[in-house]
């Protein structure tokens, strides 16, 4: 065996011992330990997705219950009428920029309630996100989330897009997010006047 081959084997052996130490498993059981960890990670991810869906359903169905909102740390939300028979839910995730959760909640609201538009938004120190969804009847009445996001995302330094019933945008000027939300509401009202 040449010197290079010996060094390679020694390097691999050090790596195996390091992995063994990190996983707290003997070297001869690393394969079984790795398989077990991958299986547990998949199960944990599936559980996380299920819990995220349940939380979105709770957020979508909370009708102003302050006790429930404070007990499970729900985002703040307001409901306003943007056109006759059409309500808009504005959900402010404050500094919690969990886009997956925002998408779940926004779509859950409009999936289960006719005559609804949901607008979720969040800002961190460096970015902002807006997600919009409309029930199918509202989309047929003229609401177009894609057009609105394309119009308002540049306000907070970004871009975005989607479909008429669902769109999302992100930007790098979170300090301008409230301005974009206000513009979105104005644009929604204009779309629904036609």
Select the more confidently predicted residue: 67 or 31: 31
Are residue 52 and residue 96 in the same domain, yes or no?
no
Same domain? For 82 and 33 the reply is no
- DSSP label of 84: T
Beta pairing, strands 166-171 & 86-92: unpaired
pTM of the complete model beyond 0.75 = no
Residue 68 lies in a domain: no
Within this chain, do residues 143 and 91 fall inside the same structural domain, yes or no? yes
Do residues 31 and 19 touch, judged by C-beta distance below 8 A? no
- Backbone conformation region of residue 137, classed left if phi is above 0, alpha if psi is from -120 to 50, else beta: alpha
Domain carrying residue 83: 75-193
86-124 residue pLDDT tens: 999 998 887 666 888 889 889 988 988 899 999 999 988
Lowest-confidence range among 149-153, 185-189, 190-194? Answer: 190-194
* In-domain check, residue 23: yes
Is residue 67 a part of any domain in this protein? no
């Amino acid at each position: 065996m040449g010197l290079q081959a010996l060094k390679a084997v020694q390097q691999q052996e050090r790596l195996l011992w390091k992995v063994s130490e990190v996983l707290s498993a003997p070297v001869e059981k690393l394969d079984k330990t790795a398989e077990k960890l991958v299986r547990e990670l998949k199960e944990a991810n599936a559980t996380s997705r299920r819990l995220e869906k349940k939380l979105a359903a709770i957020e979508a169905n909370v009708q102003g219950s302050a006790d429930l909102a404070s007990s499970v740390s729900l985002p703040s939300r307001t409901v306003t009428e943007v056109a006759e028979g059409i309500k808009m839910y504005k959900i402010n995730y404050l500094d919690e920029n969990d886009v997956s959760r925002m998408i779940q909640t926004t779509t859950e609201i409009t999936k289960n309630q006719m005559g609804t538009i949901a607008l979720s938004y969040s800002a961190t120190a460096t970015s902002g996100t807006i997600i919009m969804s409309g029930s199918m009847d509202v989309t047929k009445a003229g609401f177009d989330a894609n057009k609105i996001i394309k119009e308002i995302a540049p306000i907070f330094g970004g871009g975005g897009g989607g479909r008429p019933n669902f769109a999302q945008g992100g930007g790098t000027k979170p300090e301008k997010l409230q301005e974009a939300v206000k513009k979105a509401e104005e644009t929604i009202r204009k779309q629904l006047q036609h």
